[in-house]
Structure 1
């Protein structure tokens, strides 16, 4: 497992990939004009060549390169998803180029994991198609993965749950923003379903019940500071968070986002039952598990509403059927890679 600055497999400061990441991210607190002026001509070509080198190494299986790739993409996305406290390079042409190179390489890697021809054999009738999506998930090795059903439920220690929460923050900790981004341009039943889902995430108007606020209560229980959180995210954790942002922010990838986020919600209740069991087994403070208890019920309802009000209407279109299935497979495969990495046998 790769993490930043914590495990024995963590990248060392002399790692050339992370040196490139450090060089690039140092510009992110500058204005777009400053960045594009400094990184022009041969300097621009040099930086883009370094990013291409990271992508090539990651594609070849270099785990340090994969970490650097996803860490850098996460930092690019922060320019677009967090309010700046200083100058920001958001809007820089060069940063956009870097981001697109990372996104393209990440997308290609996920597509390479999809069984050839699978997306060409989808049922055309919407309800049969929906059944196919669910059965595909049930047949995937990530379904009822032993990380949740064996390790978390029966063996995880308090420190294991602490680390689990940090890794999960890349999706759970910003699900409301993902919904807000993906609903742009939608209409009708789909927009209403996304809006209903978002309003639940907002605690139905009660600030104390906002789901990101409840999720952050877990950080308080475990006393997790922001700097430790950033150091502790693994390559596959960053990948899962980056895929969610990638699909939610681009209108052309709306269908993939429907599949990715819908499958996330569909799998959550069963997983969270195991987390709640572990939490209670360890006798941890009740305030920290409210988020997971709540989502066992809510995500089950959301998933059904999502399937019937978002997926089924969209499944009338062959292009949308393919896009949604692609997003589902990305979610299943990236989640499997992440959970495989979390298993104690993999970390040993």
Structure 2
């Protein structure tokens, strides 16, 4: 099984990546001239079939999707296949297989328990989160808080970079097409991420301080993430880039913001226990208070109004469960590696 610091892949998948990845940084027309796009799509579909029970295929699938998403979330320094129609087909296959796999972790009977009343729905959704195994996960409440070494914190920060290092961009993508109170709530979240206009307090800048404190290299950030960390980042991009998954993004973000203050409190405790430089923990300190406020406002001003619709309630719940389930598997994985 591959580890976050040594992402081994089987030879066949290695060969596939070695052939395909260089095409991402060539003109789109070159990829569209692929001699056998049907075989290419079948290779991607085969990854999806194997990813459910094969850790190596799962890693390759999520690594490939992450690299493709990089074309859509980072400014290019040269040619790019971003507009390729073949790449779009590959991406949609990867995305659909990823979504189907996440849905397979959800008990369909859970949807039957959703209350119709919006206020009751909010309370019910929070109850689902409280009863989930990821709530108060031992990785945070036992290991990080009381046992983690500086090297353990370094590994944790590296894996967390899959989402935390670009959360502002996800919010920017999420707000497209919204209006009214919903748009304003996303804007408030985004402006907080922007340090309320102070460049030195932009949250990605603060997170980068932690990266620099631990001497984490760009190569580590791009190559040494676990499959579960890659999945977490990919799910966040997936639900924020498609308007048809906006309600899933609402549920996903609601749970992420709601769980963050308690989790970051454990990170802060570990940082102080280890007597690490105080400026390195500013990011987590800020989010303990900010995310508590964000979660409260998000449930009140976005989740509750949307919950008038049964379709929206189901999609919000779906997104929340994607977050809970994928986070649980991610934390189980890194706890098992210590």
Q: TM-score, normalised by structure 2?
A: 0.98
Q: Secondary structure at the match of 2:108?
A: coil
TM alignment of 1:245-284, pairs within 5 A: 245-284=237-276
In structure 2, the residue matched to 1:347 is: 337
CA drift of 1:321 comes to 0.6
Q: Is the contact between residue 48 and residue 98 of structure 1 (CA under 8 Å) also seen in structure 2?
A: yes
In structure 1, the residue matched to 2:8 is: 11
Q: 2:131 aligns with which of 139, 142, 145?
A: 139
Q: TM-score, normalised by structure 1?
A: 0.95
Q: Is the contact between residue 127 and residue 312 of structure 1 (CA under 8 Å) also seen in structure 2?
A: yes
In structure 2, the residue matched to 1:47 is: 40
In structure 2, the residue matched to 1:33 is: 29
In structure 1, the residue matched to 2:19 is: 23
In structure 2, the residue matched to 1:300 is: 292
Q: 1:121 aligns with which of 107, 113, 116?
A: 113
Q: Secondary structure at the match of 1:340?
A: helix
For the aligned residue pairs, the C-alpha RMSD in angstroms reads: 1.2
Q: Secondary structure at the match of 1:117?
A: helix
- CA distance in 2 between counterparts of 1:220 and 1:11 reads 26
- CA distance in 2 between counterparts of 1:170 and 1:210 reads 17
In structure 2, the residue matched to 1:318 is: 310
CA drift of 1:327 comes to 0.3
- CA distance in 1 between counterparts of 2:11 and 2:168 reads 35
- CA distance in 2 between counterparts of 1:85 and 1:130 reads 44
Gaps of 5+ in 2: none
Q: 2:106 matched to 1:110? A: no
In structure 1, the residue matched to 2:200 is: 208
Q: 2:163 aligns with which of 156, 165, 171?
A: 171
CA drift of 1:117 comes to 2.3
Q: Is the contact between residue 3 and residue 231 of structure 1 (CA under 8 Å) also seen in structure 2?
A: no
CA drift of 1:34 comes to 1.6
CA drift of 1:48 comes to 1.3
User: After superposition, what is the alpha-carbon deviation per residue over 1:234-290, rounded to whole angstroms, capped at 9, x for unaligned?
Assistant: 000000000000000000000000001111111000000000000011111111100
TM alignment of 1:143-154, pairs within 5 A: 143-154=135-146
User: After superposition, what is the alpha-carbon deviation per residue over 1:164-195, rounded to whole angstroms, capped at 9, x for unaligned?
Assistant: 00100111111111100111111111100000
